[in-house]
Every structure is written in structure tokens, then in C-alpha cells.
Amino acid sequence: MREITSISHLFRSFSIFYLALDFHIYGIFGNNDVERHLEMGKKFLAAGQLVDALTHFNAAIDGDPSNYLVYFRRATVYLALGKSKSALPDLNKVLELDPKFQAARLQRGNVLLKQGKLSEAEEDYLAVLEVETSNAEAQKQLQLLEPQRENIRLAKEYYEQHDFQAAIDAVSLAIDVSPWDADLRELRAESYIAQGNYFKASGDLRTTTKLVSDNTEGYYKLSNLHYDMGEAEEALLQIRECLKLDPDHKQCFPFYKKVKKLTKQLRDVQDYQSNGAYEDCVSKSKAILKTEDRVFSYIHRAKGHACHCNMKAKHIEEAFKWCKEILEIDENNIEARCDLAENYINNEQYEEAVQEYQKATNIDKNNQRAQEGQQRAQKLLKNSQKRDYYKILGVKRNANKRAINKAYRKLALQWHPDKFDGEEKKKAEKKFMDIAAAKEVLSDPEMRQRYDNGEDPLDPEQQQQGGRGNPFFHGFNPFGSDGFNFKFHFN
């Protein structure tokens, strides 16, 4: 922001200067086309349309390459656009054509100071003061040079001593004076990296790629920073910029291959998880860990996918392994905490599931998944203390309808009341009722879904508010109308 303000001030001051020079310019040129381009350039410049102004000043120079004032005007536009490297040759040309033009010399000194070329800037300021001894701007700028040299010296000294914060403080003062000095930006970036502040370091390195032509090293460093911050997509963009400058760069090319591979793996694993392809998700998460075993962000992400997708695929032991690994390194990871709770449900450990969901809600009391999961786990725990229809039939929670019917027929034959007498008959009747109830719930998709969500469709107490009752109370009775004349026939 400070740089923009400075350039804006520069632009305003020279716009006024150009208005004062209009008469002089038109006194020189006789070519109508040149005059037209100058007039259009002036209008666009006054309106702040810098690119259009630049186009017309280019044309004016093509028409009259000997007029130092047009070069001066174009240099001002370049500076307003932040293109100091383009402005400097124009200012050199101005002084070549008219060595006495002190405004151009002062402006060149300012550009050199911003670029960190202190000795050259000093020469220009002293030259201005030889002609104009009371030039206030030249005097002011000249007074910045010694403190600037001292700040740069201190910054380098602190960096060598590994006092990185002191180095940052000193070099930041230097950058305020010389914002276009790539070496200062790089020194501050290295100090930030040493502190682990990659975000601020990336900002300085990004600036160096604009200040230095063909800065392959800058793009390589910037790509590595984004990679280490877990920003693989941005790392890929920056390393491609390096390869645009040098396709065979010995550092950028192998790093590009690695980043490209990892980026694709991260996209794929996310797609697999989103689309429910959980087996592919599990496989891809393991592949990510083989590609990258150093950067925490990618390891964390891969293990998170492995936790979630193993849970969804009902790989109980694997899910426990990955979810617990995630929570060992990030105990406040709510998604992993909820996935672990779901895996406990898959393993019918409802009390542990309730505990894990409670931990998740303690982390974020407003987390909807944790709240709903806890309510469901509590219902399942309550139901497990009553009747567990899956256990009654002896089937897994993911059993299909065919397996449920098969288990029902086998148990119904085993516990048919007609095969028992006396007290054993009463026990068999109760057992048979439970078997029939389990079959009734688990073979009906809607009732089974309600049961899986923690609600017992055959519990009259749970159905009162919903208007649903126990189907045994609505005509369903495996023993017939009187409860004792039931006849069961098996093929």
C-alpha cells in the first residue's frame, strides 16, 4: 500500500509538470501525427488510463525519437504502472538527449533508490544539488542513504546470527525505502522461512519473481513454500512458471513431476469419497502417503480420508487404526472424532460411540453432525439394552434381505413353540416372538432404516408421538388370533 501511495503521488506531481510543459512540447513538434498522439496520450494520462496513454506515447516516440520530453512522459507512465525496469532506460535516454534536465536526473535517482542501487542514486542526487543547491527533494532523499545502508548491514548481521526477528525488523525498514530491491525481499523471505512463517515469506518471494527477470530460482522457492503449506494446486502453478522460463530446469522439472502426481491423487481421493467409491478412496489415500511422507498437511489429509472411507466401507479394524492415528496428532479433529464414533456403531460398541460423539460436541457444541450422531448413538445404546434385532437373527448389520430371511427360517424352525412343552414352551414362545419381530423390522426397508437410526419401530413408547404402534397391536401375531393356534409349515 505504501508503494502504491508513493507511485500515485509521483503520478500526480508529474501530471502537473506535464501540463506546465504543454506549450514547450507543441513548440518543438511540427508533425501533425506526433502532436495528435501527444494530445491523446495527455488525455488518457489525465484520466488515469495508463495503458492507452502508453500506446500513444510509444507512437509519438516512433514519430519523433529525438524529443526527450516524450521519453520523460513515457517513463512516468511506466512508473505509475509499477514498471521501473522499463522506466529506467527512458530516463537514461532523456539525460542522454539533455544532460541538464535535472527533473529527469532527480527522478532517476528516486528509481535507483527504490531499486536498492544506493551508490548510483547518490550520484544523481549530488549532481542535482551541484546545479540546484537548494533542491529540497534531492536533499531529503540524500539523507535517507546512510540510515538505509545501516539497516541493510544490520539485517544481514542479525540473519547471520540467527536473530531472525531482528533481521526482519531491520530489513523491513530498508524495504520501506527500497521496495523494488529483490535482494532485500529475499532476505526477509528467508528470515520468515526460518521462523516458520511461510505465508509472509511467500508474499516476498512472489514479489521477487516480478522484480527479477527469468527468476527461475524464485519460482522454485515459491512453489516449495506453497507445497509445504499444503497448497499443492498453487505449488503446481508456480513450478509451471519456472518451467516456462526453463523447461529442463534441474530443480523445477523433477519437483513439477512430484507436485503434479500428488495434486492428481488429492483430487482423485476427494472425488472417490464424495461419490461413495470407498474402496478406491482407501487405496488412493494409501498412495498419497507413499508419494508424500514429510509434509504434515498431506499426511493429515490422507489419513483423514483413510479413516472416513474405511469406516464407510465397514473395514472395522482399519478404520479404528486410521481414525485413532488422526486423533493422536489432532485430537480436536471433529470429522475424525465423528468417524471414529460411527465406526464404534458399526462394531456395535454404542457406549463408546456415545462417548466419542460427546467429545466432538465438547469441541464444537454447534456441530450438527456431532449433535445428530450423539442422539442416534444414545438411541442405539438404549435399544441395545433392550432388543437387538441383528443379534436375535445372528446376522451382520449390513446383511441383505435374503440373508435375513434365511436366518429367520432357520431360527423359526429351531424355536417353533410346537416343538416344546411346559415352561420350555413359554420360553420358546417369547423367543419366537423376538425372531418374528426381528424379521418384520429388518426385512422392511423403512422400518430397518428407522431402527438403524436408533428408533425401535416395535416399541410402543417410542411410537406414541409419531402415531405408530407396535405392529403386534395392529393385527400382526405369529401365533394366530388367539395366540395358541398358530401352525407353521416348513418346506
Out of 127, 146, 165, a domain closes at 146
Question: In CATH, what number is assigned to the domain containing residue 427?
Answer: 1.10.287.110
Q: What is the pLDDT of residues 272-301, one digit of tens each?
A: 999 999 999 999 999 999 999 999 999 999
Confidence of residue 455 (pLDDT cuts 50, 70, 90): confident
Count of other CB atoms within 10 angstroms of residue 417:
21
Q: What is the pLDDT of residues 442-453, one digit of tens each?
A: 999 999 998 888
Record the cell numbers describing residue 388, joined without a space.
Answer: 437387538
Q: Given this model, what pLDDT does residue 469 score?
A: 44
Tell whether 72 is covered by a domain. Answer: yes
Q: CA 249, CA 232: separation in Å to the nearest integer?
A: 20
Structural domain total, the chain: 2
Tell whether 194 is covered by a domain. Answer: no
Out of 146, 172, 194, a domain closes at 146
Question: In CATH, what number is assigned to the domain containing residue 68?
Answer: 1.25.40.10
Q: What is the pLDDT of residues 141-193, one digit of tens each?
A: 999 999 999 999 999 999 999 999 999 999 999 999 999 999 999 999 999 99
Specify whether the CB–CB gap between 424 and 416 falls below 8 A.
Answer: no
Secondary structure, 3-state, 372-384: HHHHHHHHHHHHH
Confidence of residue 19 (pLDDT cuts 50, 70, 90): very low
The parent domain of residue 435 ranges over 389-474
Q: What is the dihedral of CA 364, 365, 367, 373, to 10 degrees?
A: 120
Tell whether 68 is covered by a domain. Answer: yes
Tell whether 455 is covered by a domain. Answer: yes
Tell whether 190 is covered by a domain. Answer: no
Q: Given this model, what pLDDT does residue 59 score?
A: 92
Out of 98, 114, 146, a domain closes at 146
Tell whether 410 is covered by a domain. Answer: yes
Q: What is the pLDDT of residues 261-273, one digit of tens each?
A: 999 999 999 999 9
pTM (global) more than 0.85: no
Report the mean per-residue pLDDT for the chain: 87
Q: What is the pLDDT of residues 81-106, one digit of tens each?
A: 888 889 999 999 999 999 999 999 99
Tell whether 305 is covered by a domain. Answer: no
Confidence of residue 49 (pLDDT cuts 50, 70, 90): very high
Tell whether 157 is covered by a domain. Answer: no
Secondary structure, 3-state, the chain: CHHHHHHHHHHHHHHHHHHHHHHHHHHHCCCHHHHHHHHHHHHHHHCCCHHHHHHHHHHHHHHCCCCHHHHHHHHHHHHHCCCHHHHHHHHHHHHHHCCCCHHHHHHHHHHHHHCCCHHHHHHHHHHHHHHCCCCHHHHHHHCCHHHHHHHHHHHHHHHHCCCHHHHHHHHHHHHHHCCCCHHHHHHHHHHHHHHCCHHHHHHHHHHHHHHCCCCHHHHHHHHHHHHHCCCHHHHHHHHHHHHHHCCCCCCHHHHHHHHHHHHHHHHHHHHHHHCCCHHHHHHHHHHHHHHCCCCHHHHHHHHHHHHHHHHHCCCHHHHHHHHHHHHHHCCCCHHHHHHHHHHHHHCCCHHHHHHHHHHHHHHCCCCHHHHHHHHHHHHHHHHHCCCCHHHHHCCCCCCCHHHHHHHHHHHHHHCCHHHCCHHHHHHHHHHHHHHHHHHHHHCCHHHHHHHHCCCCCCCHHHHCCCCCCCHHHHCCCCCCCCCCCCCCCCC
Q: CA 466, CA 369: separation in Å to the nearest integer?
A: 23
Per cent of the chain over pLDDT 70 is: 87
Cα-only R_g, the chain = 39
